Amino acid sequence: MKMKKKSATLLTTGMALTLALAGCGNGSNNNNAASSAPASGSASAPASSQAASTGNGGSAVEITFWNMFGGGEGDFVDQIIKGFNDSQKEVVVKQLRLESNEYYAKLGTALSSGKGPDVAVAHVDRISPFVKAKQIVPVDDLASKVGLDLSQITASNLQSVTYDGKPYAVPLDTHFHMFYYNKDLLKKADLLNEDGTPKLGEMTPEGFEKTLAQIQSKVPDIQALAVNTPYFQEPFLNLYYEAGGDILNADMTKAAINNDKALSVLKFYMDVYKNKYADLNDKNPWDSFSNGKAAFWFGGVWEAGVLLGDASKNIGAMPLPPIFGSQTHWASSHLLVVPSYVSAEKQEASAKFMKYFSEVGGSTWGKAGHVPANANVTASDEYKSLPYRDQFIEAQKTVKFAPQTDKYTTIVTTIAESLQNIIFGSESPEDGLKDMEKQINEVLDN
């Protein structure tokens, strides 16, 4: 009897322990999945660099490269990395591809904890906080050490990464929106020129609406203009920048968004929705356009592969028309940055990779649609032979990058949310803009 009781106790203890261990294992597994990046980045690097160095006769430096590219873009990056690793024996690049939604949370953690990549991709509108915290290094000295001539980089790109006169990243590209048009639909609407370009009429909001009305009356079953409603901040900022607007004032201390320019852009879009030139309920406008259900589309250059690559779609591209006056439009840019915690040896290795990515990889990267930042690449015949790239280069000349504030992410999220409220009618445009101004000012005061 006593024996039996004892064994029962033992059994329960055993079970409890097993459960606890299982729980523990689970917990740490989840933990790993959530933050696998820094952990595996730092843990695997030394182990595999040993392997690599033995394989390469003990001379190769292995660096870890973080990026967030998936799908088509990812394939081009794979090609570039392979090309670099095959082209020389001193540096081996190992990449860690992260989920784009969580990329900056992880990169930020890595940079502040001092463990993570040796070189990483970042967007131009994201690096301000890193520069301010001195978590990434200036690249001018590194570039000259490995013979990367930064004057090859397009001036506007270089300017966008310059803080206090020093460049803090190597810009890879500029990406922005183009005006894509469906030639078949325009032909039906009598709006196609002989040379395959669209007849756009008078370049004012009213004039453009007239064009849209003509498409609607002649080709009734489609949207005249597909508007990126789910990410409405993009079409909004494009036309707001055209109108000469800014998000912040010149010294970036106050919001500058509550004005007539913003209001007229919002009223234009509300009109477009109201007259059914665009469908407010379309949750996949990019598909609608790609499938021939819309005549015009402000689409990213990164969509060029899909939209222009397939000749049967009969789609053309040109810079965004100056509906609100100027040709200035929104842009962002991919950069390569080197964290401050990286050792001098690995910084130099990273710089070699940056040089390769900019000079040689650029032409591969250009195929993805982004306009390479390296002017030698965009001047090459190989790049120019890609469809509509002359138009891309033209559009690249009038881009406007995000203001260099470390609060940009917060600000643009605030704008995106308020805009959704405005276009879906929870708030009038006037109140919405007032609200935006108030919230942005609160963020800046913090």
Least distance from other proteins to the Cβ atom of residue 127, Å? 12
Using the minimum distance from each CB to other proteins, give the nearer residue, 380 or 421.
421
Least distance from other proteins to the Cβ atom of residue 235, Å? 16
Q: What are 374's two structure tokens?
A: 């390296």
Using the minimum distance from each CB to other proteins, give the nearer residue, 335 or 371.
335
Q: How far apart are CA 335 and CA 168, in angstroms?
A: 9
Residue type, 251: D
Using the minimum distance from each CB to other proteins, give the nearer residue, 39 or 360.
39
Using the minimum distance from each CB to other proteins, give the nearer residue, 219 or 243.
219
Least distance from other proteins to the Cβ atom of residue 132, Å? 8
Which segments of 33-107 are extended strands (E)? 61-67, 91-97
Using the minimum distance from each CB to other proteins, give the nearer residue, 19 or 51.
19
Find out whether 373 and 173 touch, Cβ atoms under 8 Å. yes
Residue type, 394: E
Q: Three-class SS of residue 224?
A: strand
Phi, psi for residue 294 in degrees, rounded to 5: -150, 150
Least distance from other proteins to the Cβ atom of residue 24, Å? 5
Write the burial class of residue 52 (CB in 10 Å: 0-12 exposed, 13-18 middle, 19+ buried).
Answer: middle
Least distance from other proteins to the Cβ atom of residue 20, Å? 3
Using the minimum distance from each CB to other proteins, give the nearer residue, 44 or 421.
421
CA distances from residue 33 to 106, 118, 244 in whole angstroms, order as listed: 12, 21, 45
Least distance from other proteins to the Cβ atom of residue 13, Å? 7
Least distance from other proteins to the Cβ atom of residue 133, Å? 5
Find out whether 55 and 94 touch, Cβ atoms under 8 Å. no
Least distance from other proteins to the Cβ atom of residue 189, Å? 21
Using the minimum distance from each CB to other proteins, give the nearer residue, 229 or 358.
229
Q: How far apart are CA 269 and CA 264, in angstroms?
A: 9
Find out whether 395 and 389 touch, Cβ atoms under 8 Å. no
DSSP one-letter code for 369: T
Cβ count within 10 A of residue 14: 10
Least distance from other proteins to the Cβ atom of residue 46, Å? 25
Using the minimum distance from each CB to other proteins, give the nearer residue, 18 or 275.
18
Q: What are 301's two structure tokens?
A: 């250059």
Using the minimum distance from each CB to other proteins, give the nearer residue, 81 or 131.
131
Tokens 């260099």 belong to residue:
404
* H/E run at residue 260: helix 260-274
Q: At what angle do helices 260-274 and 429-445 cross, to 10 degrees?
A: 130
Least distance from other proteins to the Cβ atom of residue 425, Å? 7
Using the minimum distance from each CB to other proteins, give the nearer residue, 143 or 185.
185
- Cβ neighbours of residue 239 under 8 Å, at least 6 residues apart? 265, 268, 269, 323, 324
| Residues of the shown chain interacting with other proteins in the complex, contacts defined by CB under 8 A | 12-13, 16-17, 19-21, 23-24, 27, 104-105, 108, 111-112, 129, 133, 135, 230, 280-283, 409-410, 413-414, 417, 420-421, 423-427, 443, 446
Cβ count within 10 A of residue 96: 19
* H/E run at residue 356: helix 344-359
Residue type, 98: L
* H/E run at residue 182: strand 173-182
